Amino acid sequence: MMLIEVKNLEKIYQDGETGTHALQGVSFNIKAGEFVAVMGPSGSGKSTLLHILGFLDSYTKGVYRFNGQTASDYSAKELAKIRNQKMGFIFQAFNLLPRTTVFDNVKLPLMYSDIKESLWKKKTLQAIEQVGLSHRAYYETSQLSGGEKQRVAIARALVNDPPLIFADEPTGNLDSKSGGQIMDIIEALNNEGHTIILITHETYTAEYAQRLIKLKDGLIESDQAIERRRKGKESFIK
């Protein structure tokens, strides 16, 4: 099933009479269940693309279809519901609530969902267990390491069991060991059937994907299937 269809997508940031093209006619499709890495230098347009695909920002021209419907087909209320129930977001900065427990951070998306309140505790603890943090469930996030904080962010992203997960530089604030552990979790989520769109500038994280889209100056430089990373293997991304 085709989950995402993008055709001639443009994004122009207007600054007075001048405009900056963040995306310049980008086109691609993503099937349900794919693990796609989007790679490129700073300013290439990769985060702008993620924000558009996640309905966090609008586009200037072109077509974006999610589940067969264009963004303009959805009302603001429907878009909010899609973000809550169909999409999960993992960011480099974690974006956790301070002075709040792991449990309460992970539970947050359920409070805006249609899921019965009687199920919140069970689903929250299941998500926390899925990322290996059951022993930290009632710790405040300020007591956690960087890698543990990112695991909390992943648990929060998957607590509603969304089919699509966006990961925007998820290892950017972590050391290589913690980063590898986070990518192992994300890979496992893909193996369970979640579609993953990973934004990264790091080769070793991109190597977990099955497909690599390279952006440069708002354009697609290449879009190709890649062989999944194997531990100890030399880099194959050129």
145-163 burial, b at 16+ Cβ within 10 Å, e below that, comes to eebbbbbbbbbbbbbbebb
Distance CA 56, CA 86 (A): 14
Residues 143-154 have pLDDT tens digits of 999 999 999 999
pLDDT at 234 over 60: no
Q: Taking residues 204-218, report their average pLDDT.
A: 95
Q: What's the pLDDT score for residue 230?
A: 54
pLDDT level of residue 229 (50, 70, 90 thresholds): low
Q: What's the pLDDT score for residue 71?
A: 85
pLDDT at 233 over 70: no
pLDDT at 237 over 80: no
Residues 60-76 have pLDDT tens digits of 999 999 999 998 889 99
Q: What is the pTM of this model?
A: 0.91
pLDDT at 89 over 90: yes
Residues 8-50 have pLDDT tens digits of 999 999 887 788 899 999 999 999 999 999 999 988 999 999 9
| pLDDT, mean over the chain | 91
